[in-house]
Structure 1
Amino acid sequence: MSVDTHPDTDARAGVDDLDLQLADDELLDEGSVSLFEGDEGGLEYAQRRALVTLLKQRFISARTHPRDWSVLVEHERLIRSRLNDLFLDLQVDRAREVAWKRQATSETGSRFPTMLYDAAWSREETLVLVHLRDRLRAGLASGDARVFVDREDVVGYVASFRPAHATDVAGDEKRARNAITSIVKAGLLIGTGSEERFEISEAVEPLIPLELLQELLEALVAANDSEGTPDADEPADLFDDTDDADAEVDADADSAAVTRGPAEEQ
């Protein structure tokens, strides 16, 4: 998903989706798990597709990937075992119908080989995520089945954390708007009929644990109160790295940071 769409790209995506649907229908009719010459895999086509989707995407949900979610729920143990073979751990929130993967950590805390790459969210992206989680929880607590947010509301929230010494207002706003675009591409903001209004994905809450939220806000406030002024051209990560493996978001996360998670396709 993206805020700005391109007709040619959208048209191509529609054709690709149709081709994939036709391929799915053809392969799903096959009774054997052998899908190509020399195939020694033990998963059926739908199970393999769900596994591949989990590897490519930051998360899947009943809403974003209904068929893959259905297969995952039915064959969770089998798909989990395949991820475990890759040193990945499957996280499933059945209440919110969201599933995601993260890097597994050994019992001794040592690192396993990994095929994933973690990149920290920027300061502005982290603020957007914190705000979305807060708005989602408030909306659901009020009985809303779906929670929406306006672009300007998010931009205003990010601006409220601007340090008193910051003078590049235009640059800060641009980074805030770019952060929203990144969150849309990550699938955590869902487009509506208006380019200025989004639905907050149910995946936001499980991907940002409650115990991490307060630490994020405290770190943001502390950073704003510090004497150092960050380079406006380099919105570096707001948080320092730590070895705390208990607080994780999607893939590995620091105790006071949110990471993008693995380098899935955009």
Structure 2
Amino acid sequence: MTVDLDESVEPDHEPGHEPGHEPDHEPEGAVDNDFDDLDVVADEHSVSLFEGDEGGLEYAQRHTLVTLLKQRFISARTHPRDWQTLVDHERVLRSRLNDLFLDLQIDPLREVAWKRQATSETASRFPTLLHDTAWSREETLVLVHLRDRLRAGLASGDARVYIDREDIVEYVASFRPAHATDEAGDEKRARNAVVSIVKAGLLIGSSGDDRYEISEAVEPLLPLELLQELLEALQRANGTEVPDADPEADLFEEDAE
């Protein structure tokens, strides 16, 4: 079972939803430099940055627009200068994305922004630059667990929430069907899922770390109803009944506000 979440700019591909399709992540360690190259620009407030330049955005605005297109999301935590530029110039950046049939989504409370394919009012299909990829079963379970732990930590007053790699692997293992015998293969897939989520930026740290910070982007980026439905389906598929009053159900409800 899979859930489509990843969206990255892929001009040479049509969006697909093939089960088991690997997410097309940025290479490990390819974190946006958040303006580290600003000093090579002669005048960051100029809208003419190279010979023949007909663009109408300043350097910082263009940098943020490119980051929004390349990355799954930006946040005040991971891209502080891009986030501030977005806050200061939201209307013009939203307009540029709209020109590409993309819709800008912003969660001001968690300070996270991401893009979505725009939907036509007439149900017709727009041309798209986005390539939708499907998360694997193990990756989806990791996302469910991260959202669970993030909400629990924030409810306890933690400013930042951390999780151990082994905690994640054990959670995924708890969904292994009783008839499954390839424990080594299952564990390898669970550990690979952790690496994928790190590359996606939803776990902050390096792939080889034993402990990670959970990104605040986990909650606004995930389709909550689908994750709940998936978790229940996995429980039933593994031969375990889902209680009528699931003790974890409140973790999938929207905040009262």
TM-score computed with the length of structure 2 as normaliser: 0.76
Question: Could you say which residue in structure 2 is the equivalent of 1:95?
Answer: 109
Displacement after TM superposition at 1:17 (Å): 5.4
Percent identical among aligned pairs is 79
1:131 touches 1:157 (CA, 8 Å); kept in 2? yes
Which residues of 2 match residues 76-91 of structure 1 at below 5 A? 76-91=90-105
Tell me, in whole angstroms, the C-alpha distance in 2 between the residues paired with 1:137 and 1:95: 14
Question: Could you say which residue in structure 2 is the equivalent of 1:186?
Answer: 200
Question: Could you say which residue in structure 2 is the equivalent of 1:134?
Answer: 148
Gaps of 5+ in 2: 1-27, 241-257
Tell me, in whole angstroms, the C-alpha distance in 1 between the residues paired with 2:125 and 2:230: 25
Displacement after TM superposition at 1:186 (Å): 0.5
CA RMSD, Structure 1 to Structure 2 (Å):
2.5
Deviations 1:82-113 (A, max 9, x none): 11111111111111011111111112333211
1:111 to 2:125 alignment:
yes
Tell me, in whole angstroms, the C-alpha distance in 2 between the residues paired with 1:28 and 1:137: 45
Displacement after TM superposition at 1:225 (Å): 4.1
Tell me, in whole angstroms, the C-alpha distance in 2 between the residues paired with 1:208 and 1:157: 18
Residues 1:111 and 1:225: Cα distance change in structure 2 (over 3 Å): farther
1:200 to 2:227 alignment:
no
1:83 touches 1:89 (CA, 8 Å); kept in 2? yes
Question: Could you say which residue in structure 2 is the equivalent of 1:171?
Answer: 185
Letter in 1 for 2:92: L
Displacement after TM superposition at 1:27 (Å): 2.2
1:149 touches 1:200 (CA, 8 Å); kept in 2? yes
Q: How many pairs were matched up? A: 213
Question: Could you say which residue in structure 1 is the equivalent of 2:139?
Answer: 125
Displacement after TM superposition at 1:31 (Å): 4.0
Pick one of 215, 220, 224 that aligns with 1:210: 224
Deviations 1:187-237 (A, max 9, x none): 100127x821111000001011433332121232233349xxxxxxxxxxx
SS in 1 for 2:104: strand
Structure (1 or 2) with the greater helix fraction: 1
Tell me, in whole angstroms, the C-alpha distance in 2 between the residues paired with 1:155 and 1:97: 29
Displacement after TM superposition at 1:142 (Å): 0.8
SS in 2 for 1:143: coil
Tell me, in whole angstroms, the C-alpha distance in 2 between the residues paired with 1:105 and 1:223: 34
Deviations 1:44-66 (A, max 9, x none): 11000000000000000111111
SS in 2 for 1:118: strand
Tell me, in whole angstroms, the C-alpha distance in 1 between the residues paired with 2:202 and 2:150: 11
Pick one of 146, 157, 170 that aligns with 2:171: 157
